[in-house]
Structure 1
Amino acid sequence: MMTAQNTQQNARNFLDLPSEIRHRIYITAGLVVGTVIRLMPNGDYCRYVGFRLPRESPGFTYNLLQTCKAINSEVMTLICSYNALVVVHQYVDAGLKFLRRLSPQQCSALTDLFVQLHLEAPVLGDCFDIDADPLRTLPPDAALVASWQAVAKHILSHTRPRTLSLRLFCDTGDGDTTLAVLQPLRDFPGVLRDCELQLHHQQGNTSARAIAWDTSILAKAPDPHLWDRFFRFFDLPIEIRRCILEYTDLVTPYKEVYWSASRGFRIATALIRCEHLNCDTHLHRGCRFLNCGPDYSETGYICYRRRTGYSPHCQCWAAPRALFLANKSLYQEALQVLYSCNRVIVVPSEGLRSCLRPDDTASRLDASRFITRHMWPDVLHNLRTIEFVFPAIEPASFPVSGEPYYIDFCFAIEHLKAHADISKLAIVLSITSPRSVTNGDRGSIHREITKPRTDKAIVLQTYAQLLQCLGTLRCMRRFVVHLEWAWHWRVKHPRVGSQYHNILDAEVNRTETWLEKLVMGDGYNNEAAEKIVEQPSIWLYAIWNTLEHVGWPDVPQQQLFRDI
């Protein structure tokens, strides 16, 4: 066996060293590795742009390429293997020409390739270039398409199976140009390790998205005929089917589904953009499902919420309509997962700042409409957690026992009792003060609950009588009351992880406990019912938290929701 000493004695020059040793020397000496290389014309070579690397690395790499033909070929192979190559749309001709000159060995070493053809409309943010014109429109160019087809065929014919990750931006929609651009990928099935395609710079083109999905799967599938076979989902045991459905978009980002009579189902989103490590812990758990990018600011990213295409890395939530339209059996199982895994929150149609006045008492509460009009009786059985956000009630509406909305609410509760699984059901109520929601008076709750009276404030007596009909649900799993007011969640609160204690907490807790025991009985212990860890719904928390940045009249309530 040849030792290291014998190797050094027999080596007459650098190229006589084993290739593994030469590669280690290149990398240790400063060869550009582990970065994004944007292919741009610079004489006979392309310019290499690296981030967070020693300043001398690009220069050293350039000098290596000028040494000799053998070292140039070897170094270029390492560059293709250890970096991501990007063809930017401003210099697409030069980038494709560079790829076309790669040797078969260098093509087989490619691991990450990003191509920005942008045949119709490049989009701001899809490439990292301060000189880029994001509004520049390029008509489909037959010569450019032909050049891309030749380059793609050259690379894919020499690519080692399952080693190359390709991200392609062409923005051509679903026409003949798209089919021509994607044809090389369909001619080499099962070659790519990963494939992401953007076919339109706007979202919502369902046919283009279907083409992108089909092409990407075909390009990655080891067996192209595997996807032609049907999978018999209902042959699986029901427990496994349920577990599979729980990993779909039936479970929303915050495990909350909002409903109002005027808008139907929606999900809540936070107005404040994700700040990663500095993001609010209560909001951050849903950030990755609401905004997946940009993960690759240098190369562009593909997201369902912004573009039409396909990417297996986009985790953004989308309404799972297909699960409800497939067949009746899947529809029923999807409903079970939707209502049992999410917290259903019924909000007032007029928004959080709505107020129920004496002349409005003939109207129905959204809570009553949800139970008796929207939900089928057999679906009510799947509910596990439901939250009613009541509008503020004017004290002049007291007493409420003879009002139509009160009678209607009592009927809805009896209907819920008859069809829901009460022993597994948790009900959360959010109530507030009229002054708090109409003009942002943060001190109204304090004045109401600290009045020197032997009984509770009139506004709370109104809610107390409204909640009396809930006494028939005393066997429910959990019952929680939240007393809300303007600016409640603007500062960090113990329920969302901070040690800050509001001076109102003690009195608010006593008031909430009084209302809870009014429904559940004097022996009810809300701490044993896990109220101490009960989190506020995202809508309530986000809208109060927004007040830190905007004035009370300017709170954009509707922007907190996304329609389903």
Structure 2
Amino acid sequence: MESYCPNQVNQLESYPHTGSDSPLLRLTPHIRHRIYRYLGLVGWDDPHPSYRYDLRHGHKASGTAPHPSCFYGLLLSCRAIYAETATLLYSAHRFILHYDHTHPEPLGPLLALTTSSLASLTSLTIILNQASCHHLFEYGIYPNCCLQGRKEGPWDGAYYCKTDASHLHRHDLPLLTPSSEGDNSIEGGDEDSLAVAQALQSKWHSAVARLSSSIPSGRLELALVCDIDPRHNRALEIAMAITAPLRLLPPLRDCHIRLSKTPNPQLQQVAQDGVLRACGIALPSSKPSLLSTLTTLPRELRLRILEYTDLIVPSRQVTWSRQDHGYVTSSIESLSSPDYLYRGQFFHCWYNEGPGPFIGCFCRRRHSSFSFKCKCWAPPGPALFLICRTLYQDAQFVFFSGNRFIIHDYRACPPWEMPCIGGQTREEQRIPRRDYPNKRLAVSQFLREVIPTHCLAYLRFLEVVFPPYPPSGWPQAGHPAMDDWWATVDWLQDKVNLPGLTLRLVGARANEVTPDAYTATITVSEGDTIMKAHMALLPPLTHLGQNGLARFYANFIYPWLCTEELRVHDYKKDWMEDRNREIKEPAERYVMGDRYEGLYANNKKEPERSSWEYSYY
């Protein structure tokens, strides 16, 4: 059954028509509305803005949008039909405008809209300057180009974007960036970068003044993108000048602001303040004194309150690896992951933003931006840790005791990746090294150098993940990394709360997308070598088990699965799980000793798998 948007039909009924009008206008509003749908003027699905159109070039900016030529004749037919159809056109779709630095009127198409058209707008995106092209496209790989800065390769959206000339030219350098840093910078010397930014701000102020006199309150959703170089000493000044004109507008229905491609606390705060003001939400006149309120509460209440801050990850799982600059979370999960619908709303907001076309990435984890649609978790900032010593200690306790910490020995995403030689071609880059490249295990580095020593006692769950190293890539007994592992565990004895700690060792498994070099066929003796490496990790842990370690689990992969004798058979999942249990139970019994039976007594189960195991590798 065809669906109609009542608001759009009511708009048609609001126009008085006489008998001398065009025959089209003598039809009922519902029939006219149906005709406009068939011509592509209005979408069929729902009342949300249906398609996205480029104001400057007069063509569609969405791959599924009808071309304006399908309904352009209606706009030229007569004044009455134009008034009716223009109202529908600008109210039913998203419109996007890129600031053109080379044009004498860089925002001219916006200024050229009639008063009635401006009053009808419900969704408008203004891109003054963008350092990535993801605002132009719907879903798929290209929105990921906002993640540039990660390692380029076949798993990075930026890799595809850079190899496509149609996308590369959409990447501007951040505003205020010296022209010497790239060929796609705005024309002019380094001394002119501030003047260019100030000219842009002036043009933008004039455009907003034009909007302010025409748009009604609570109707327009505005997305503003102006990527500024946060390294410039005038970056904060320009950011405030870009958001200041929004105060001229009546309260908006919704607003999204992005001021830098990379996160910056000061620019982020400017973006947040700009959104709140634009939506008519009053900013607090002064910040409340946490020192005189929160710290006066009993410690039990303070800790309970802090659990509702970003100190606790939605999935309660925090990841650390050598390649990450700080704590991260497992943010990409499959539909089979437990609580996927709940956890998914806190990651990749650009993908989970809801109905309607993609508005662009305004994720606070990735950019200096603010949007009410972004609920993504980000590592807690320094604010709670700098107020006073009491809250500093409370925040540390909540963070380290309330989350599960997962330490990847090499890379967190993808978890099966191993150190590479680093050749020039993609094939060479996928060849794993044949020796363990580090003098320390990642978990040793984390325990000794990353986590504060006095916070070790707060840990409640520690998981150590190893990629599927080749036989000669595992550190064996006598390797410097293993000697350091013995020393680390011995040093750890009196610094952790063993009766409250769960320790789990896990081997990341290969799957159907893992490169062939990672799953090469091995001999039985090489499988024995991997097994010896697994077992070499356990002897120092027996001291923890003897001294009261609460729980220990070993989830390694049966190392002989890649031998030629076993690879020729298509074994079922149950058979593989039985083989994994053949090495799991002896390892756990070895560490826990007589207390092993208590791990699974009274129908106790092992804690659920961590979310990285459900990741799309």
TM-score (norm 1): 0.66
1:123-160 CA distances to partner (integer Å, 9 max, x unpaired)? 44443694983354336276664443232122223333
Residue 542 of structure 2: aligned partner:
468
Distance 1:152 1:331 in 2: 44
What are the residue-to-residue correspondences of 1:382-461 with 2, within 5 Å? Answer: 382-388=458-464, 394=476, 406=486, 409-410=489-490, 412-416=492-496, 420=497, 422=499, 424-430=500-506, 441=522, 443=524, 446-447=527-528
Structure 1 residue 394: Cα displacement: 3.3
Query: In the aligned structure 2, how far is the partner of 1:329 from the partner of 1:153?
Result: 49
Partners of 1:352 and 1:180 in 2: CA distance: 47
User: Counterpart of 2:304?
Assistant: 242
Q: Distance in 2 between matches of 1:176 and 1:524?
A: 62
* Aligned CA distance change for structure 1 residues 47 and 526 (closer, same or farther; 3 Å): same
**Cα gap change, 1:168/1:500 in structure 2, threshold over 3 Å: closer, same or farther?**
farther
Shift of 1:36: 0.6
Structure 1 CA distance for aligned equivalents of residues 29 and 262 of structure 2:
47
1:514 to 586, 596, 613: 586
Give the conservation status (yes or no) of the 8 Å contact 2:56–2:109.
no
Q: Does 1:12 align with 2:86?
A: no
**Residues of 1 paired with 2:318 and 2:584: CA distance?**
23
Instruction: Write the deviation string for residues 212-242 of structure 1: whole angstroms up to 9, x where unpaired.
Output: 22222221233x3545453757288965873
Partner of 1:52: 64
Equivalent of 1:530, from 598, 602, 605? Answer: 605
**In 1, Cα distance between equivalents of 2:544 and 2:434:** 22
Distance in 2 separating the partners of 1:179 and 1:197? 12
Residue 185 of structure 2 corresponds to residue 137 of structure 1: yes
Structure 1 CA distance, aligned partners of 2:504 and 2:560? 20
Deviation digits for residues 263-301 of structure 1 (CA, Å, limit 9, x no counterpart):
99543668xxx6x97x88599887776654477997643
Give the deviation of 1:35 after TM superposition. Answer: 0.9
Counterpart contact for 1:442–1:485, Cα < 8 Å: no
What's the CA shift string for 1:103-122, capped at 9, x where partnerless? 4444333211111222xx66
Contact 1:48 1:58 in 2 (8 A): yes
CA distance in structure 2 between the partners assigned to 1:458 and 1:29 by the alignment: 69
Matches within 5 A, 1:330-345: 330-345=391-406
Give the match for residue 210 of structure 1.
Answer: 269
- Render the CA deviation track for 1:25-76: whole Å, top value 9, x for unaligned: 56445323421121135xxxx44565435x5x73453122112223212322
When the two chains are superposed, the root-mean-square deviation of aligned CA atoms in Å is 5.2
Cα distance in 2 for partners of 1:364, 1:88 equals: 49
Deviations 1:182-204 (A, max 9, x none): 3321334x61222222334x414
Match of 1:552 in 2: none
Per mean C-alpha deviation after superposition, the further-off stretch among 348-357 and 250-259 is 348-357
**2:127 counterpart (116, 129, 137):** 116
* Structure 2 residue aligned with 1:195: 255
The alpha-carbon deviation at position 248 of structure 1 amounts to 1.9
Deviates more, 1:105-114 or 1:479-488: 479-488
Tell me the equivalent position of 1:100: 111
CA contact (8 A) 2:319 2:327 kept: yes
Deviation at 1:329, TM superposition (A): 3.6
Matched, 1:328 2:389: yes
- Higher relative contact order (CA closer than 8 Å, sequence separation 6+): 1
Residue of structure 2 equivalent to 1:149? 205
CA 47–395 in structure 1, closer or farther in 2 if over 3 Å, else same: closer
Distance verdict in 2 for CA 1:249–1:63, change over 3 Å: farther
Distance 2:545 2:73 in 1: 82
Task: Tell whether the 8 Å contact from 2:349 to 2:375 is kept in structure 1 after alignment.
Answer: yes
Equivalent residue for 1:184?
A: 245
Amino-acid identity (%) = 19
Question: Aligned match of 1:501 in 561, 568, 573?
Answer: 573
Partner SS state of residue 71, structure 2: helix
Task: Give the whole-Å Cα distance in 1 for the aligned partners of 2:272 and 2:116.
Answer: 30
- Residue 463 and residue 102 in structure 1: after superposition, are their counterparts in 2 closer, same or farther (change >3 A)? closer
Q: Which amino acid aligns with 1:137?
A: S
> Residue 423 of structure 2 aligns with which residue?
none
Indicate the SS of the match to 1:267.
coil
Q: Do the aligned partners of residues 17 and 97 (structure 1) sit closer, same or farther apart at CA in structure 2, a change above 3 Å counting?
A: farther
Task: Name the CA distance, whole Å, in 2 between partners of 1:126 and 1:487.
Answer: 48
CA shift in 2, pair 1:369/1:293, >3 Å? closer
State the alpha-carbon separation in 2 of the partners of residues 338 and 442 from structure 1: 45
CA gap of 1:488–1:526, structure 2 versus 1, over 3 A, is farther
SS in 2 for 1:162: coil
User: Whole-Å Cα distance in 2 between the matches of residues 231 and 111 of structure 1?
Assistant: 40
How far is 1:316 from its partner? 4.8
Q: Per the alignment, do residues 239 and 28 of structure 1 end up closer, same or farther by CA in structure 2, a change over 3 Å counting?
A: farther
2:319 corresponds to: 257
Residues in 2 aligned to 1:404 and 1:142: alpha-carbon distance in whole angstroms = 56
Matched with 2:53 is: 37
Structure 1 segment 284-363 matched on structure 2, within 5 A: 291-293=348-350, 300-304=360-364, 307-322=367-382, 323-346=384-407
2:9 matched to which residue of 1? Answer: none
**In the alignment, residue 19 of structure 2 is paired with which amino acid?**
R
Q: Is the 8 A contact 2:327 2:379 kept in 1?
A: no
Mapped to 2, the partners of 1:144 and 1:356 lie a distance apart of 55
Residue 262 of structure 2 contacts residue 366 of structure 2 at CA under 8 Å; is this kept in 1?
A: yes
Correspondence for 1:77:
87
* 1:166 CA displacement: 0.9
* SS at structure 2 position matched to 1:70: helix
Alpha-carbon distance change, 83 to 460 in structure 1, aligned in 2, over 3 angstroms: closer
SS at match of 1:523: helix
AA at the equivalent of 2:268: R
Output the CA distance in 2 between the equivalents of 1:105 and 1:332.
58
> Structure 1 residue 85: deviation in Å?
1.2
In structure 2, the gaps of 5 or more residues are 1-16, 44-49, 138-164, 173-183, 188-195, 230-234, 412-416, 420-432, 467-472, 509-516, 563-570
Cα distance 1:306–1:266, how it changes in 2: closer, same or farther (>3 A)? Answer: closer
User: Which residue identity lines up with residue 124 of structure 2 in the other structure?
Assistant: L
Deviations 1:76-101 (A, max 9, x none): 22222111111133597778334334
CA contact (8 A) 1:372 1:412 kept: no
Distance 2:313 2:494 in 1: 28
**2:532 and 2:108 mapped to 1: Cα distance?**
79
2:180 aligns with none
8 Å contact kept, 1:172–1:178? yes
Structure 1 window deviating more from structure 2 (65-74 vs 319-328): it is 319-328
